[in-house]
Amino acid sequence: MQREHIVSVDQALCVKCGSCMRDCTVHIIEMTEEGAKVTTQECIKCGHCVAICPKQAISMSGYEDMPEDIPQDLMLDPEILLAQIKSRRSMRHFTDQEIAPEDIEKIIEAGRFTPTAKNMQGISYVILKDNIDEYERIAVSILRRIKRIAYPFIGRYRHFQITDNFFFKGAPVAIVIKANDVIDGALAASLIELMAQSLGLGVLYSGFFTYAARISGKLKRKLSLAPRDKIVTTLVLGHPDVVYRRTAQRESARVLFD
């Protein structure tokens, strides 16, 4: 986390129900005669205590936004969710339509609320939009050099035509996800894709651009890669220019019940 966050209890509002104490992951809340008390700030600032308090007696400083009430009848339809997961396709054909700024905000919001290990929140994003062509030009130059050198060894990839829009396919936006922890970044990418799909957008995981960015000092500098950052993946987003009419088949899940 980038900021300091302090957990506080307004004991005048506390009804001593003990919910915060029972749900505290690291057991730093105790119940006193005056009400709940935070014994130390050495916690992961997960916010469970804020979220569970029935009287809003607990708060956490250092955030720009306030907690939002959760409707108790809020439920995802499991059949619709599963159908959406099954219907997603890697999109490589996009229209010229721009993505609305408010849709980009929702997409990043989905990433921002992704769970992270120890609540580190160590994920950041580079939105390639106005200068997306410059990033693609650098990456295309890198991959063309690699292909010339490694041609005998690249198997199925030797037939790829590295065109000027090889990485981003003419899409208007790409999002590079950087993270301290690769799993955290991958989880954020998954939720971002789900949100983008719900907005009617198509998404492509550009593994080739991610590879180019990982080996290119120039791209790392342009992406402002911090010492602890890892480039996890790149999501290419735009309005689809094709319609997929059925799901793709998958092999049976390999599951062990023990």
What integer pLDDT is reported at residue 83 of this predicted model?
94
- 176-202 average pLDDT score: 97
Q: Who wins on pLDDT, 254 or 159?
A: 254
Single-letter amino acid, residue 162: I
Q: Is the dihedral of CA 238, 240, 245, 251 positive or negative?
A: negative
- 11-25 average pLDDT score: 95
Q: Which residues of 57-72 are buried (b: 16+ CB within 10 A; e: fewer)?
A: bbbeeeeeeeeeeeee
- Structure confidence by residue, pLDDT tens digits, 40-98: 999 999 999 999 999 999 999 999 889 999 888 888 899 999 999 999 999 999 999 99
What integer pLDDT is reported at residue 191 of this predicted model?
97
- 7-36 average pLDDT score: 95
Q: Who wins on pLDDT, 150 or 147?
A: 147
Q: Which residues pair with 8 in a beta bridge?
A: 59
Whether 151 shows a pLDDT value over 60: the answer reads no
Q: How far is residue 215 from each of residues 110, 167, 173, 221, measured CA to CA in Å?
A: 28, 15, 22, 11
What integer pLDDT is reported at residue 154 of this predicted model?
56
Angle at 2 between CA 118 and CA 126, to 5 degrees: 95
Q: Domain residues of the chain, as ranges?
A: 7-60, 78-238
Whether 152 shows a pLDDT value over 70: the answer reads no
Q: Given CATH 3.30.465.10, say whether it is the number of domain 7-60.
A: no
CATH topology for 78-238? NADH Oxidase (3.40.109)
How many residues are recorded in the chain? 258
Whether 157 shows a pLDDT value over 70: the answer reads no
